[in-house]
Amino acid sequence: MKNNINEVLPKKTSILNAAVIVAALGYFVDIYDLLLFGIVRSDSLKDLGITGDAIRTEGEFLISMQMFGMLFGGILWGILGDKKGRISVLFGSILIYSIANIANGMVTTVDGYAFWRLLAGIGLAGELGAGITLVTESLPKEKRGYGTMIVASIGVSGAVAAYLVYEFFQDWRLCYYAGGVLGILLLFLRVSIHESGMFKEAVKSEEKKGNFLALFTNRERFFKYLQCILIGIPLWFLVGVLITFSPEFAKTLGVQQAETIVAGKAIAFCYSGLVVGDIASGLLSQWLKSRKKVMYLFLVFNLIMVFVYLHSFGITADNFYWLCFGMGCSVGYWVLFVTIAAEQFGTNIRATVTTTAPNFVRGSLPLIILIYSLLRDKFFDGNILNAAMVVGTILSVLALLALWKLKETFNSDLNYLEKNN
């Protein structure tokens, strides 16, 4: 299954090298755009003439279109990352979603909104995977956990920035324009980074690069890939459903002054917690020299917080927001999830895996929403709390089982190739 290649020591061993800094800033802009829709969802749809329950249904449709784009983009950029290089993906992806961001600020119909969210999703899909792959290959194994922690913790703070920008401008169109301009400015910084030594060595090999189908032609490799995806899905259920639709959950829970709860602020609190969680999980994994042990802790913590959230009847609006912060802390294992995915596979398909796995997690949201909606409407007579609890529990159990089967990768050497059998 594996084909060893000559060891390639990273030339730059500083944690804050150019690859880490540029990947972190790129992920910051990526998350800004990815979460911006959830922040401006209600106001933007109202501005387009949507009212009442249609705001929720059209919002579900638009976020699903964005995630479909990320599914397709994940495969596209992952393959290109292994065939053409990690740097080419970092340039191409940010260019596409910067253009889509600016176009989003010009839409006048829901259909137009959907098209540009789809295109934005395609662009957004390449940023994290290519960045994490480059960082893991550019740092020695004893430091790469710190590098990915920096990328993730700085990156997810982009959601907080999106909320603050919206609070400042109070105009959803200007928020999209700002995201597009940030992306274009970041393109100029990327001229300072170079491909990793591991990728340059892999190019010389005769093994196929970016062979997406190779993930499905070998039973062991396929299940390892599936397990990498499953451990990340609980996070996106929490963000994509429980936090994005927090105003609806607040009303059902009888939160005091529930009408004042806005999704943008809930997202900002959640992602502030996610920054804390990412730093904590990254540091813990380095101290314990284990990815899996810390992942177990956070997956259980996540399930507990989902239970608390869905049973927080009658709390104050302020406490509800702080609860969203705690929810964010509980899914601070995102940095570990993407690091584990990068460390599980060889150099010739590493970008494919590291790019597609997070996007399949994000892209699972339409299916999660479909199952959640079916349970809510057909089995629980419109009760969103029971439906969310069932979905959250199932996803957490699947994630724990998947993690149990994965190998520990903390001290794994990454300088090898996968045989395309």
CATH code of the domain containing 171: 1.20.1250.20
For 373-401, the pLDDT digits (tens) are 899 988 888 889 999 999 999 999 999 99
Q: Report d(CA 204, CA 215) in Å as an integer.
A: 21
Distance of CA 74 to the CA centre of its chain: 11
User: CA-to-CA distance for 169 and 176, rounded, in angstroms?
Assistant: 11
Cα–Cα distance measured from residue 89 to residue 23, given in angstroms and rounded to the nearest whole number: 12
- Give me the pLDDT at residue 2, please: 54
Would the pLDDT of 237 be above 50? yes
Question: Is residue 204 situated within a structural domain?
Answer: no
Distance CA 284, CA 109 (A): 47
CB hemisphere CA count around 193 (13 angstroms): 30
Determine the 3-state secondary structure of 418 from DSSP.
strand
Residue 418 belongs to a domain:
no
Is 366 inside any structural domain?
yes
User: How many domains does the structure of the chain reveal?
Assistant: 1
Does residue 6 sit within a domain? no
CA angle 80, 82, 88 (to 5 degrees): 50
Supply the pLDDT for residue 5. Answer: 47
Average pLDDT on 355-363 reads 84
Q: Tell me the CA distances in angstroms from 173 to 43, 48, 100, 281, one per residue in order.
A: 10, 12, 12, 35
Confirm whether 169 is domain-assigned.
yes
Residue 323 lies in a domain: yes
Question: Which pair of structure tokens corresponds to residue 66?
Answer: 């964005």
Supply the range of the domain harboring residue 261: 15-191+214-408
Rounded to whole angstroms, how far apart are CA atoms 235 and 333?
8
Quote the tokens at residue 199. Answer: 């990728």
pTM for the complete prediction?
0.79
Q: What average pLDDT does this structure show over 87-111?
A: 88
Angle at 150 (CA atoms; ends 149, 155), nearest 5 degrees: 100
**In this structure, is residue 220 part of a structural domain?**
yes
